[in-house]
């Protein structure tokens, strides 16, 4: 008489603790996903491989530029040239990444050049 009925509260407690554990795991996964999305907000370069190095420099394993180490066929490389201010270099980099459009780039460049 009474065998097996005394342990029912233990199963209820175990079920409750398991539910709490599942909820905590879901919250942790959501927080990790949000952190990953925020830290990875910088877009990856569209392509990688030979020839995709920084402007004016060949990529890893790429042949040297036929135009030499100086200005390319479309003008000087970003960050090159005498008198290039850090602000101008940042502006060029933002334009190269596509963060700003051509109109805004030219407007800000005129403002920087005085």
Q: For 89-111, give the DSSP string.
A: HHHHHHHHHTSS-HHHHHHHHHH
Q: Output the pLDDT for position 9.
A: 72
* CA–CA separation, 94 and 42 (whole Å): 12
Geometric angle at alpha carbon 80, from 107 and 93, rounded to 5°? 50
* CA–CA separation, 41 and 94 (whole Å): 15
Q: Output the pLDDT for position 103.
A: 92
pLDDT tier at 86, thresholds 50, 70, 90:
confident
Sign of the C-alpha dihedral computed for residues 20, 26, 29 and 30 taken in this order? negative
* CA–CA separation, 84 and 113 (whole Å): 10
* CA–CA separation, 19 and 51 (whole Å): 54
Task: Provide CB contacts within 8 A for 92, sequence distance 6+.
Answer: 78, 79
Condensed to tens digits (0 to 9), the pLDDT of residues 92-101 reads 889 998 999 9
Q: Output the pLDDT for position 11.
A: 77
Condensed to tens digits (0 to 9), the pLDDT of residues 48-67 reads 455 555 555 544 445 555 55
Condensed to tens digits (0 to 9), the pLDDT of residues 3-57 reads 656 667 777 888 899 999 999 999 999 999 988 888 765 555 555 455 555 555 5
Q: Which residue has the higher pLDDT, 14 or 81?
A: 14
Query: Taking the model in full, what pTM does it have?
Result: 0.32
Q: Output the pLDDT for position 114.
A: 78
Alpha helices in the chain (DSSP H): 8-39, 86-97, 102-113
């Amino acid at each position: 008489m009474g065998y097996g009925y005394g342990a029912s509260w233990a199963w209820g407690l175990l079920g409750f603790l398991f539910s709490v554990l599942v909820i905590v795991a879901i919250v942790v996964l959501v927080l990790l996903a949000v952190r990953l999305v925020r830290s990875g907000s910088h877009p990856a370069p569209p392509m990688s491989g030979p020839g995709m190095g920084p402007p004016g420099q060949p990529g890893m394993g790429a042949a040297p530029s036929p135009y030499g180490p100086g200005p390319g066929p479309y003008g000087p490389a970003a960050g090159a040239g005498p008198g290039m201010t850090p602000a101008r270099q940042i502006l060029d980099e933002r334009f190269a990444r596509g963060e700003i459009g051509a109109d805004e780039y030219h407007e800000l460049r005129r403002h920087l050049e005085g």
